[in-house]
Structure 1
């Protein structure tokens, strides 16, 4: 797990000069205000046009997964844990991030059974802003990848808005969408099914970090399959996905 990031005095000075009014920043206190400023800085300018020309075999990505208290953020469900692993091109690195997160709502029994995350486990977990700051610091400006990304992206965006009034600015790729585009005849969606198709070992499911690792394996296989279709760069991939 990546070591927690340390506070820096410079961010507080930057914060007072813009982003959040000094009066509000002083009410929040320096540490929280610094966290907000840091997270907001990482949500801006991530969709760099030059990234479209980078070959997928060289693209720096962060494959991530979230566990949540349910599937409906608009009804109050929240993030329970963050998991991510960095992938450099087709090389899965050993650089990972994992953290539990203390939700404001209760953890339903069915979620405990699914994820193994109990109310006791998250009682002393970092609050949302801290876990989110460390997660955003870990992924930095990498392209984000998730399986069935709509769920994770929505919860991440809601968490960002709730804590910092910022929106996710990163590019997000969906391994489920790409795999189904490559092999529409299979008519499958779940991570379990795609792992079986590509003979990727299924280890521990519904754990944010372990799911991220398995999705990273799927992403690397997908890169090879895309090359066979003449899809070389990130821009090529967007064009490929847009075709009927």
Structure 2
């Protein structure tokens, strides 16, 4: 493959936009070009404005991606990294069992023993896994412009934002809904809103806990359970209605 013209506008624009030093120092035209294309795709996806019309989408038709990340710890500021992405698509109340995404990521850092015991992910497994850029690009390709859903989304969103900034110097612009917030609104009497607790309450079998894809699948079932509760509320029909009610909690 012909090496790209690094004096051209595309490469200069990437540099002016803050190309990560790890990418700028890569050797080999083909790998550098592939990484630049991935970065350009992610930047393009994040530049797309949130479509206001999606707020008028009935919840019964809303396209979502329920996702989960497994990480080496709880603080990306402290050097913790993403180890795996897991996601599944849901349309309305229909879980698309055959439309799933999962990948390990070469996190490039030590994985504490307690995290390996919790997740089953070892350094040996991640050492041969795709790079963060590859994993993130493939994950965002799977997501597209769909609304994201996670449980306790602050953790996942912070790591996703850190990864987007590290690889592409952009921030997440997708709408993100949180099943924990839904639980607090719909079930305000509860004292515990952990995923395990809510799965048990809703009689959703707990299988493969702390595996990103399995957690995403279980969260998808919880999301659907809450959508069914919401459907009984006559005043909450669209995504915009849902945001309005959640803003009051």
By the TM > 0.5 criterion, same fold?
yes
Q: Scaled by the length of structure 1, what TM-score is found?
A: 0.90
Q: 1:74 aligns with which of 64, 73, 77?
A: 77
Number of residue pairs matched by the alignment: 232
Q: Describe the superposition over 1:175-217 as per-residue Cα deviations: whole angstroms up to 9, x where unpaired.
A: 0111111011012211111111111111110000000000000
1:238 aligns with 2:232: no
Corresponding residue SS for 1:157: helix
Q: By how many angstroms is 1:21 displaced?
A: 4.4
Q: Scaled by the length of structure 2, what TM-score is found?
A: 0.88
Gaps of 5+ in 1: 1-11
Corresponding residue SS for 1:43: helix
The structure-2 alpha-carbon separation of the partners of 1:15 and 1:180, relative to structure 1 and needing over 3 Å to count, comes to farther
Structure 1 residues 92-241: aligned runs within 5 Å: 92-93=95-96, 94-230=98-234, 231-241=236-246
Q: 2:44 aligns with which of 41, 58, 81?
A: 41
1:16 aligns with 2:19: no
Q: Describe the superposition over 1:153-186 as per-residue Cα deviations: whole angstroms up to 9, x where unpaired.
A: 0000000000000100100000011111101101
Kindly indicate whether the alpha-carbon contact (under 8 Å) linking 2:108 and 2:127 is maintained by their aligned counterparts in 1.
no
Cα distance in 2, alignment partners of residues 107 and 139 from structure 1: 27
Kindly indicate whether the alpha-carbon contact (under 8 Å) linking 1:46 and 1:171 is maintained by their aligned counterparts in 2.
no
Gaps of 5+ in 2: 1-5, 27-31
Kindly indicate whether the alpha-carbon contact (under 8 Å) linking 1:79 and 1:103 is maintained by their aligned counterparts in 2.
yes
Runs of 4+ in structure 1 displaced over 3 angstroms?
A: 21-28
The structure with more radius of gyration: 2
Q: By how many angstroms is 1:103 displaced?
A: 0.9
